[in-house]
Amino acid sequence: MSRLYFFAFALLLASLTAVNPIAIDTMMPAMPMIADALATDAASVQYTLSAYLVGIGIGQLVHGPVSDRVGRRPIALVGIVLFALSSAGCARASSVEMLFALRVLQGFSACAGLVMARAIVRDRFERNVAAEVLAYVGVFHSLAPLTAPIFGASLAVAYGWEATFWAMAIYAAVVSVIAWFALPETHRQTEHARFGVLAKAANFAHILRNPVFRGYLGCMAIAYAGMFSFLAGSPFVLITFMGIDPERYGVLTALIMVGHILASFSAARLVRRFGIDRLLGLGVLLTLAGGATMAGLAWLGIATVAAVMLPMFVYMLGFGNVSPTSAAAALQPFPTIAGTASSLFGFVQTMTATVVVELTGLFHDGTQLPMTTGVGVCGALAALLYLYVRAVRRRGEVAPTPEACRT
């Protein structure tokens, strides 16, 4: 595979996965406006983010197993088209309840690209190369959360909060056309797939019994949840509590994504040299440092923009290493049911983030404490789970398990 094709392939997958940060980060600066326009409170608007995550969680359990039967390409194409339609629906929402329901549908469709990207990479590449590809996908993918908050803030101020959802719909429509012509089918079945509920449950149980999968999944799920604690709470902490304007909020949020881009790029360059586990260790160390610093400053009563954003930048440096390495390592033992493994990986990751978002909203008190505490706790738990991964490796439980189950 030429280097040019390698990058083009990663960019194509990133365009599919980018609907997720676009759906979240474009809306974030408009969240206080949505609360005012729909005559509701901050917690209710935060719950629309939870609704989106619930949709992703449901979709994770559906898209991967179905793709093991019908292929990756159809699921990715249907998902991106449905995302465009649901985004247009969100723009027309007249109540927070209607927005809540449409965000569930939006999340259900958005996760098709996330699941298929991991499965497609697993279909085509071995362990370290898969991590490299996913890291490059992360680099391109990170351009969306880098620009989306700024773009979303500008749209919301100029045209109203509805414009943020219309922008999502237009993006998805363009990507669907590109994917129709450029996205290959990578899944090759060797036998007719069984599609019953019991067969799927057996596959999920088989995957969860693998200690390698559990360890890497735990690191990713908790680190991901810490990021979502920030995403759920930061609009109200920075805009409402600290008084910055939406445009400045968009710029600040975009700047912390530079950390994710830098880390993803370095992971792509270094993973073949140093291996997955060393880079994962560096990642969880940085998430621990960033989260603990942010929470500590908050509990000391230091309520400044810098006390939130600088530690979060460090946290995102860590997450940029955790994301590609943990995903590539977790899926490696399951070559014939990579779609199912990717679904389960994403489901647990998303549901963990949903719980943290709910807790952030539940304990919302108008200050930065609930959000920063959530980030800090997640950073610490990610580090503990990395120690579990190390223990699994020391016991020698790293070889792929036999795949007795079939999809």
pLDDT score for 403: 41
pLDDT at 405: 41
In this structure, is residue 295 part of a structural domain?
yes
Copy the structure tokens of residue 187.
């899944």
272: confidence class by pLDDT, cuts 50, 70, 90:
confident
Quick check: is 43 in a domain?
yes
pLDDT-derived band at 191 (thresholds 50, 70, 90) equals very low
Contact 100, 40 (CB under 8 A): no
What mean pLDDT comes out for the span 359-375?
83
- Residue pLDDT, tens place only, 32-86: 889 888 888 877 887 888 889 889 888 888 888 888 888 889 999 999 999 999 9
Q: Helices 211-234 and 42-70, interaxial angle, to 10°? A: 150
pLDDT of amino acid 192: 44
- Return d(Cα 110, Cα 114) in angstroms, integer: 7
Other Cβ atoms less than 10 A from the Cβ of 197: the count is 8
**Domain assignment present for 189:** no
Residue 95 lies in a domain: yes
- State mean pLDDT over 390-399: 68
Confidence of residue 254 (pLDDT cuts 50, 70, 90): confident
Q: In the chain, how many domains are there?
A: 1
Q: With beta carbons less than 8 A apart as the criterion, state whether 272 and 128 touch.
A: yes
- Domain-located, residue 403: no
Q: Residue written as tokens 């974030």?
A: 28
Q: Which residues contact 95 (CB under 8 A, 6 or more apart)?
A: 38
**Cβ–Cβ < 8 Å for 353, 363:** no
Q: What is the largest CA-CA distance in the chain?
A: 61
Model confidence at 152: pLDDT above 60: yes
Domain-located, residue 265: yes
Say if 160 falls within a structural domain: yes
- pLDDT exceeding 70 applies to what percent of the chain? 94
Model confidence, pTM: 0.71
- Whether residue 399 lies inside any domain: the answer is no
Q: Could you tell me the two tokens for 139? A: 């680099």
Identify the band that residue 289 occupies on the pLDDT scale cut at 50, 70 and 90: very high
Cα 331 to Cα 225: distance, rounded to the nearest angstrom: 20
CATH number for the domain spanning 106: value is 1.20.1250.20
> What's the token pair of residue 336?
């014939």
In the chain, what is the straight-line distance between the N-terminal and C-terminal CA atoms, in Å? 29
d(C-alpha 80, C-alpha 106), whole Å? 10
Boundaries of domain holding 334: 9-180+194-394
Where is pLDDT greater, at 4 or 37? Answer: 37
Q: Taking residues 8-20, report their average pLDDT.
A: 87
Q: Give per-residue pLDDT as tens, 75-130.
A: 999 999 999 999 999 999 989 899 999 999 999 999 898 889 888 887 887 767 77
